[in-house]
Structure formats: structure tokens, C-alpha cells
A and B are shown apart, each in its own frame.
Chain A
């Protein structure tokens, strides 16, 4: 059944390239912010599938930390888009 997980990982890699395309071509800054947010979530699911295919559980730790850092970065970018300081 490893081939199933490999196909899933390939599809998620295509998703990552879609997000990178939107980061490259996005006409405005919020488009790029949306694409960065979604790229983070896709990478979290990629790490979860890597934990399944390798059988090592530290990839789940990587997924948790990646979701934390992605959330904080997205909030910082959204605050920057609103034109405010970070402590409001």
C-alpha cells in the first residue's frame, strides 16, 4: 500500500506548485498572503503523510510546529496589510 501514499504525496506536491504559482503571479499583496497561508496548511498535511510512509513519528511534531509558525506569520502579514502596528 506504499504506492497509495506515494500517489497522495505527488498530488500534494502538485498543490504546493499551484500555491507557488499564485505567490509568483498574484496581482496584489493579499493574494500572496492567502497563498502563503494555504501553502503552510498543505505542508502540514504533507508532513502527516510523511509520518505514515516512513513510520517515524517525529514528522507529526514537525507538522505541529509548522502549523504554529504558519499561523503566527499569517497573522503578522494580515496586521501589516491592515496598516496597523503589531500590538493593537
Chain B
């Protein structure tokens, strides 16, 4: 029974990973790619590590998988935030159909 639940969770995670990486290829802009890639791939990896935890049961391996899960849950959004801020400061333009840029408006507002 545990194995069935673990395989289902791993399948959900692999699906999220696949569609996240597909978005990394198909989306037109770096900010859209960051949106698709980081969120979907983080959720998929968390599902896979949950499946690994349930597969191994109450052992040391399971606790190490929990540690890895918490670490990825904390650090992946941090890295994505740093990358998007760095890209905006490096002057990468938005997609031509983007409608709003609040970060630029904030910076211009503080200058003027």
C-alpha cells in the first residue's frame, strides 16, 4: 500500500517537472520562463521527495529526504527572486506584450 501511494506521488512530481521544463522552452520571456520553471519544478521535486519518504518509511533515509525537501522549499524561491532582480538590473527587456512593470515604476518613483 505504501508503495502504491509513493508511486502515485512520484508520478505527480514527474509530471510537474516535465511541464515546468516544457515551459522553460516554450515561453517567450525570461520572467515568464522563471515563473513557469521555478514554481513547477520546485513543486514537482517536493512531490518526488515526499514519495521517496513514504517509500522508505520511518528510517534514516526518510529523514534525510525530509531535510532535502525543506531545504529546497526554502532556497528555490530565494534563488528565483535573486535571479529576477539581477535580470531586471542587468537591463533585460520585458516581452513586448507585457502590460505592467511595478519594479521599474517603484524605482522611478523613489528617484523623482
Contacts and interface: CB of A to CB of B under 8 A. Distances in A.
A37 B79 contact: yes
Q: Most chain-A Cβ atoms within 10 A of its Cβ — which of B20, B38, B41?
A: B41
Binding site secondary structure of chain B: helix
A86 to B, nearest CB: 12
Interface string B87-106: 10110100000000000000
A37 B38 contact: yes
Binding site secondary structure of chain A: helix
Interface string B3-28: 10011001101100110111011000
A29 B83 CA distance: 10
Given A31-B33, A68-B71, 11 more contacts: A22-B24, A34-B30, A35-B37, A37-B38, A37-B76, A38-B20, A41-B41, A52-B52, A74-B79, A79-B86, A83-B90
24 contacts: A11-B18, A12-B17, A15-B18, A18-B21, A18-B22, A18-B24, A18-B25, A31-B30, A35-B37, A38-B37, A38-B38, A41-B41, A42-B17, A45-B44, A45-B48, A48-B45, A64-B64, A67-B71, A71-B75, A75-B78, A77-B83, A78-B79, A80-B86, A83-B89
